Structure 1
Amino acid sequence: MNIWITGVAGFIGSHVAARCLEAGYQVVGIDNMNDYYDVTLKEQRLERLLAQSKLLLQTGEPAQIPQQPFRFYRLSIEEADTIHELMRETKPDVIVHLAAQAGVRYSLTNPQAYIQSNIVGTANILEAARLQGVGHLLYASSSSVYGANKKIPFAVEDRVDNPVSLYAATKKSNELMAYSYSHLYDLPTTGLRFFTVYGPWGRPDMAYFSFAERITSGKPIDVYNFGNMMRDFTYIDDIVEGIMRLLPRAPQRDGEQAPYKLYNIGNHQPVQLLDFIRVLEKHLGVQAELVMKEMQPGDVPQTYADISSLQNDIDFRPDTSIEVGIQRFAEWYLTYKEQRTAERVLHV
């Protein structure tokens, strides 16, 4: 199977690419390598994928190895003509569309970045996929589409008409555009509403990563809503497992029903932010200095995934506990920070 992954140098994208290579798929990776956060981290993720691809060619495992297991193209999904040309050349069977301008708070001050990447870019991917007759398009949505919904847990059947950030609005727009393409052109699409993904090789702009940075540097951390936030933290391996199981399961048209599906992928066990911080302190071996603050614009007090559709359709239930997930992240982070410090010393 030939898999296209947009945002391949990103947190989720790089993990999905690694699993696809393990499965013997041919991977075409797209990323614009923007500087929203440390580009060096993105480059390191890419280096790991290239090394994995090279090793596969050397070892001959699995038995059916593509001639080029991993190919990378540096380009933006906003470049419609280039996207169309590349898709014609590479002919993907399945697309995993993860490229996006991420971050809720950044959208408050840089709205145009979200319009261009998340709306224009996704429209380009949908149109190119339609023209090439792609068999299945999976795309990243977000738990943020639920806004300040009061009904808990959040279910894919719930109305999501009141986004509290532009980021959330763009993700809801992606779902609407995908539905239109499924309905009009029979393009099978699957939307994945991710719930607060964390783990090794994560994004430095995410709270847990920035907490680790500041805690290990002896700096205080800002805790919003006075720590009374509840988040359905979901470990990266669970996210990837859900995606891998859904790859071959393209939705089918059923009468008037378009070939379109939506899933929540969350741990379905919300954790209070203060409890999350305590587990992080434990595994970093350092106590945090907390600065309690009010809720930030665009934030919501709680997220909680109803995953019944995921369980019913692919018999999958994310189950990595915070204790296990944070321990794995902390072990990776401490090694990563030590290596980064050593590299700085060498360059002095």
Structure 2
Amino acid sequence: MAIGNRAVANLVDVAAFSAPEPEFWRGKRVLLTGHTGFKGAWLAFWLHRMGAQVTGLALTPNSLPNLFDALAVASLVRSYVGDIRDSDLVRRVVSDSQPEIVLHLAAQALVRASYKDPVGTFATNMIGTANILDALRDLASVRVALMVTTDKVYRNRELLTPYPETAELGGHDPYSASKAASELLIASYRSSFLAAQGVSVCVARAGNVIGGGDWSEDRLLPDAVRAWQSGEALQIRRPDAVRPWQHVLDPLSSYLVLAQKAYQFTTLSQAWNFGPDGAASVREVIKLARSAYGSGEVDFATQVTGPHEAGLLALDVTKARQELGIRPRWDLQVAVSRSMHWYRDFHEGVAASELCTRDLDAYLSVRS
């Protein structure tokens, strides 16, 4: 892949940028959409810890409990509650915050929910993204817009061959299709408007994320925790589905590292895969989760039911490893174990802030 000379020169010291740098983020004005969600709350907490000036825009949390409230994120950032489909609101928040860096995570992010509300999914993931990008036109302060899509943007051929960033985009279900379509939209805004402003517009495609503090519906570990804490058997509808699982801190670290580098080098305005070196089945993840949790009944379905979902999915993360120095710090066993211990300790009364600090400290102490 050809990239500009400025980026090539920077690759000499790429290993030095394999982790987020507090010195870079201290005082930076950051607009974070989706800060009330699982990944967004973790990211807001991390950015605040590094001294960034964070403005958040998102809907109210969609679960009880939720990490946004558990971490008291509203006290850590300047928080706006609203819908990214509201273009006037988006423009006002952007104008008020004057961001240097935009981290766009807000989305309708569930496959099964997209079957129930396809129009709402397309509107949020496409029109909402367009509203964010359009508000950045002619904004003098902005240097980086990092747009988070998904590993499911690829046309899935049900092969275990990992998809590189150059693979064909597609999407069977409304969620995947909406995210693939949003990538065309992002590319259009990059080439038509924002590149001429000197803004780095990057796309991050991350694998399936696990970690403490997620209580969303139709997600594997939250479903397991709810079932086992209530003494019920966990129902697994697709035990042999294969995904690129990773702890939440790995993609968040990748986003921050990419934004740091893209702040200086606009040649990094590309799509990037972030994920583990391999993939694993739902059955494998649940066995690890049950071992870490210490107990729990599981019923594995013998027949696939429900709407279509991809069976096999793996990402080729070579580009991020070679050009950004990004590699996962925790393997699957550690990622699952840390996640289940987070939930167990939270259930026993340990504060979310203590648990997140514990995981962050442990994560950053790993030397790759």
Fold-level match, TM-score > 0.5? Answer: yes
Letter in 1 for 2:52: Y
C-alpha distance in 2, partners of 1:111/1:281?
34
C-alpha distance in 1, partners of 2:74/2:342?
17
- Aligned match of 1:154: 163
- Aligned match of 2:247: 235
C-alpha distance in 1, partners of 2:222/2:273?
23
Are 1:275 and 2:300 an aligned pair?
no
- Aligned match of 1:60: none
1:201-248 Cα offsets, whole Å, 9 max, x none, are: 1242212210221133222222234x2221110111111110111112
- Cα gap change, 1:203/1:305 in structure 2, threshold over 3 Å: closer, same or farther? farther
Letter in 1 for 2:248: I
Are 1:47 and 2:72 an aligned pair?
yes
SS state of the match for residue 204, structure 1? coil
User: Contact (CA 8 Å) 1:191, 1:261: kept in 2 or not?
Assistant: yes
Are 1:102 and 2:109 an aligned pair?
yes
User: Contact (CA 8 Å) 2:236, 2:299: kept in 1 or not?
Assistant: yes
1:228-285 Cα offsets, whole Å, 9 max, x none, are: 221110111111110111112228566xxxx731111111221122111111111111
- Cα gap change, 1:80/1:48 in structure 2, threshold over 3 Å: closer, same or farther? closer
Are 1:311 and 2:321 an aligned pair?
yes
Match of 2:233 among 220, 227, 236: 220
The Cα shift of 1:78 comes to 1.2
User: Contact (CA 8 Å) 2:39, 2:248: kept in 1 or not?
Assistant: yes
- Aligned match of 1:20: 47
C-alpha distance in 1, partners of 2:246/2:150?
12
User: How many residues end up aligned between the 2 structures?
Assistant: 314
The alignment's TM-score, normalised by the length of structure 2, stands at 0.80
Are 1:81 and 2:88 an aligned pair?
yes
User: Contact (CA 8 Å) 2:108, 2:124: kept in 1 or not?
Assistant: yes
User: Contact (CA 8 Å) 2:147, 2:203: kept in 1 or not?
Assistant: yes
- Aligned match of 1:11: 38
Are 1:300 and 2:310 an aligned pair?
yes
User: Contact (CA 8 Å) 1:104, 1:165: kept in 2 or not?
Assistant: yes
Are 1:113 and 2:120 an aligned pair?
yes
Are 1:184 and 2:154 an aligned pair?
no
C-alpha distance in 1, partners of 2:38/2:242?
22
Are 1:137 and 2:145 an aligned pair?
yes
User: Contact (CA 8 Å) 2:207, 2:246: kept in 1 or not?
Assistant: yes
Worse-matched range after superposition: 266-275 or 331-340:
331-340
User: Contact (CA 8 Å) 1:267, 1:318: kept in 2 or not?
Assistant: yes
SS state of the match for residue 204, structure 2? strand
> Which ranges in structure 2 are unaligned for 5 or more consecutive residues?
1-27, 351-368
C-alpha distance in 1, partners of 2:43/2:295?
32
Are 1:334 and 2:341 an aligned pair?
no
Percent identity, please: 22
1:41-73 Cα offsets, whole Å, 9 max, x none, are: 1542451562xx4xxxxxxxxxxxxxxxx2111
